[in-house]
Amino acid sequence: MDQQLVSGCTPAAPTARMETHGNSMLRVVMQSGQDLFARTGSMVAYEGFVQYDPNPPAVRQMASQWLTGEGAPLMRCHGDGMLYLADYGADVVVLNLNEDSLSVNGSNILAFDAHLNWGVQRVKGMAKFSGQGLFNVAISGTGWVALTTRGTPVVVDCGRGADETYVDPDALVAWSTHLKMKGKRSFKASSMIGRGSGEAYQMGFSGQGFVVVQPSEDSTDRLRARG
Amino acid sequence: MQSDGGRSLRMAREFQRGHKAKISDLTAGTDLYVGVQITAPGLNFDISCFGLDADERLSDDRYFVFFNQPKSPEESLQQLGPQAGDTESFRVTLDRIPSSIQKLSFSASIDGDGQMSQVASGYIRLVAGGDEVARYSFQGSEFSTERAMMLGDIYLKDVWRFAAIGQGFDGGLDALLRNFGGEVAEDEPAADSGVAPGFAPPAAGGASQPAQPAPGFAVPQGGGAPAAPTPPPQPQAPQPPQPQQPQSPAAANAAAPTIAAPITPPGAQPGPAVPAPPGPPQPPPAPPQGQAVPPPTAPQAPPFGQPPGGQQQPPPAPGQAIPNPFGQPPGGQQQPPQVPQGPAAGMAVTLEKYREAPTGQRWTLQNGQLARVDLGIDGQPVLARQGSMVLYQGKVDFSHKGAGFRGRIVGNATGQEMQLMRCSGGGQVFFAEEAGYLHPIELQGDAICVSAEHVLAFDESLQHEVRRIEGHGIPGGALFTMQFQGTGTVVVKTQGSPVVLPVTPTTFADADAVVAWSAAAQVVVSSQVRLRRQAYPGHSGETVNLQFRGAPGNFIVVQPCEV
């Protein structure tokens, strides 16, 4: 078969533990001893010997607050090889944490190193009323994290102005954990922003740090579709 | 959004009094043409350029460029005389201006009797590579008895910037001089480099030559100059090739044809719409500190398949960084997969390329899918589709905006009323919807029709009205479009990269895929669909085709998605 047409899509040699192949596929170099947590069902391909452990005990414990009542949406991957992950064509953003900490909306997380400190938090404030995930994951330490976003995200510095930054919770992807967060509900009868209910709410952030926002208010939790 | 015929369709940015912008945001060029036009019956103006030092003093008389001294010593400032519809013009070569000169102040003073209130209108504009990139227009009614005015400044504050001043001055030229008076200082040429569009006076008429790496300085085509016929080029002006403009140069205020021109998309532009910039793309911003491109020189990790000895590689020196996550791996490195554990520069560096684009313009395309409006500029509210706000900073007030009577008609007819919200106050608002690609279209007195579902946001200053196009076979009985007219920006949303087609005698588009068209084009519901249905009985795939008719110069925008 003439493979010329697809030859441009062959993977390049890996240079880091996590890389993107194209815009929306993540490639992780797996080595035994360096486990990975990945969203269940996000594996699209793998080479080598990689094993998956859905609903591992550690996660089960962590996710006791997960609230959704279903199994934890993370699986533990271990082994040696090359693992390809994707999430319904969403853009993938790879982050390398260096003693950083960040909080990621639960439905935007794709994978992260198992040795990172992480915990599941219940979303505070109004955001829990949005259709977006009911939890977020606080990750800190040194290692790799991959996020998914619908569309190319933007990173906004909160500390730039004296004013707070307000984000539509449906578009919020991640933020630095040391930001102060509060829900803002607009009580004006004429105020109609935000999607859905007509009750306007945003999340306000203040302090030094950044907010990652995606250009979409896609509020469907794709985890649920997987069952 | 690309235009027909490969023309560069960037619209000049209109400045209001007090507006400032980085010149690098306007153009990559450093060889600028500055044109000043003043329409004032019976008045004569001396238009001059003061090269000022850091203290805003004219410390070196040789940088006072006026009718008696048409150029500065190293010719970074030259007065060119009237041409291309401008009463006076200058050539400014930014990278040759000595470092002692920090500000170029362009001013006009009345020669003889008269006062500024007698001025009908005027402007100062910047032209780079034949494209007008900035224009500040003023009216005589903004002034009273002043006898001079400061038009605009090009000044150095970290980078060269342009400011629209528009400040009247009671005395004449001598008072201006006194205002700037100072002592003599030495100068020393500053060096800078960069491939950038060269200097070329504006191609009047709105069309511009295709972008060239560095078009040389060129004298514009004559004709149409209200003040004086185009004089022979000044002797000191180097005379490389003249750009051949097919169109006759329009007079100063001629509006460019309606054109979809994205506002400078900063940074990554994954999107569809890459306008032909007036030159080569701007050089990428300098990588942030500590970001190194090559992979860390960490000890080689064993390839997979081999159990590694210790998991944690000793970290490489700090400052080594991760490869660009979206980019290709650095070239030529055929190393076995490493598992770098190094303290790379951290996530701040990784996220650097998603950083917010610098402010300065009212509308900025953050990336192909996010548009930002700075309400503080112009202080004018924006109307946007409800729910399209993803983030805002500052004191922004959101209020419901009914679609009005006509809007309700639409709502009743289509079952979905266009719900708008009004964003007012001061601050920045980011708009996006469903990761659709956004295209800000700047209107300058012209009109465009946009299919209602593709409107994301627009300036309140634009007049908008809903139109319906009726025809057999259109779902809902009619196609609803919003027609925008006036001066301002409309942000249009498309699914996928659109195509912009010129309107020819045989231009058809699917009613579901057409996004926008220039309002001068006439829409006819085509009967082709019937032919097709007859040809293939039972075939219902195609819905309705619209045929467009119009004079040359009209265009339509079609998206690759028939929703």
Residue A186 lies in a domain: yes
Residue B341 lies in a domain: no
Whether B394 and A163 lie within 8 Å, measured CB to CB: yes
C-alpha–C-alpha distance, residues B200 and B92, integer Å: 11
Residue B388 DSSP class:
-
What mean pLDDT is predicted for residues A123-147? 69
Q: Characterize B193-209 residue by residue with b for buried, 16 or more Cβ atoms within 10 angstroms of its Cβ, and e for exposed.
A: eeebbbbbbbbbbbbbb
Residue B136 lies in a domain: yes
Q: What residues of A are in contact with residue B356 (Cβ under 8 Å)?
A: 154-157
Whether A16 and B338 lie within 8 Å, measured CB to CB: yes
Q: What residues of B are in contact with residue A36 (Cβ under 8 Å)?
A: none
Q: Has residue A145 got a pLDDT over 80?
A: yes
Whether A192 and B268 lie within 8 Å, measured CB to CB: no
Q: What is the CATH number of the domain that holds B411?
A: 3.60.160.10
Tally of structural domains, chain B: 2
Residue A4 lies in a domain: no
Residue B72 lies in a domain: yes
Q: What residues of B are in contact with residue A96 (Cβ under 8 Å)?
A: 322, 344-347, 350
Among B180, B206, B232, the domain-final residue is: B180
Q: Are B308 and B301 a contacting pair, CB within 8 Å?
A: yes
Which residues span the domain enclosing A73?
15-217
Q: What is the CATH number of the domain that holds B86?
A: 2.60.60.30
Inter-chain contacts counted by CB atoms under 8 A, chains A and B: 212
Residue A223 lies in a domain: no
Residue B433 lies in a domain: yes
pLDDT (tens place) for every residue of chain B, 563 residues total: 443 333 334 456 788 777 788 888 888 778 888 888 888 877 888 888 888 888 888 888 888 888 888 888 888 888 888 887 888 888 888 888 888 888 888 888 888 778 888 888 888 888 887 788 888 888 877 777 788 888 888 888 888 888 888 877 777 777 777 777 744 333 333 334 334 444 545 544 433 343 334 444 444 444 333 333 334 444 444 444 444 444 443 333 433 444 444 444 444 344 343 344 444 444 444 444 444 334 434 344 444 444 444 444 443 443 444 444 343 434 443 344 445 444 455 676 777 778 877 777 888 888 888 888 888 877 788 888 877 888 888 888 777 765 554 544 454 455 445 677 888 888 888 888 888 888 888 888 888 888 888 888 888 888 888 777 766 555 555 677 788 888 889 999 888 888 888 888 778 887 778 888 888 777 776 644 444 444 445 444 455 677 777 777 788 888 887 66
Which residues span the domain enclosing B398?
363-558
DSSP alpha helices (H): ranges in B283-403? 347-350
Whether A15 and B323 lie within 8 Å, measured CB to CB: yes
Residue A56 lies in a domain: yes
Q: What residues of A are in contact with residue B301 (Cβ under 8 Å)?
A: 31
What does the CA dihedral B507, B513, B518, B520 come to, rounded to 10 degrees? 60
What does the CA dihedral A158, A159, A165, A169 come to, rounded to 10 degrees? 30
Q: How many helices and strands in chain A, by DSSP H and E? A: 2, 15
Whether B304 and A166 lie within 8 Å, measured CB to CB: no
Whether B322 and A166 lie within 8 Å, measured CB to CB: no
Amino acid at B265: P
Residue A33 lies in a domain: yes
Residue B375 lies in a domain: yes
Interface test with B, best of A96, A113, A172 (most B CBs within 10 A): A96
Identify the burial level of A223 via C-beta atoms within 10 angstroms of its C-beta, where 0-12 means exposed, 13-18 middle and 19 or more buried.
buried
Interface test with B, best of A115, A155, A206 (most B CBs within 10 A): A155
Q: Are B176 and B64 a contacting pair, CB within 8 Å?
A: no
Q: What is the CATH number of the domain that holds A65?
A: 3.60.160.10
The whole-model pTM stands at: 0.54
Short-list B429, B427, B323, CA closest to B366: B429
Whether A167 and B391 lie within 8 Å, measured CB to CB: yes
C-alpha–C-alpha distance, residues B555 and B431, integer Å: 26
Q: Are B418 and B455 a contacting pair, CB within 8 Å?
A: yes
**Token representation of residue B198:** 């060269």
What is each CA distance from B238 to B28, B35, B214, B225, in whole angstroms? 21, 18, 14, 22
DSSP alpha helices (H): ranges in B90-213? 173-180
Tally of structural domains, chain A: 1
> How far does B496 lie from chain A, in Å, by closest CA?
12
Residue A3 lies in a domain: no
Whether B393 and A166 lie within 8 Å, measured CB to CB: yes
Whether B434 and A150 lie within 8 Å, measured CB to CB: yes
Identify the burial level of B4 via C-beta atoms within 10 angstroms of its C-beta, where 0-12 means exposed, 13-18 middle and 19 or more buried.
middle
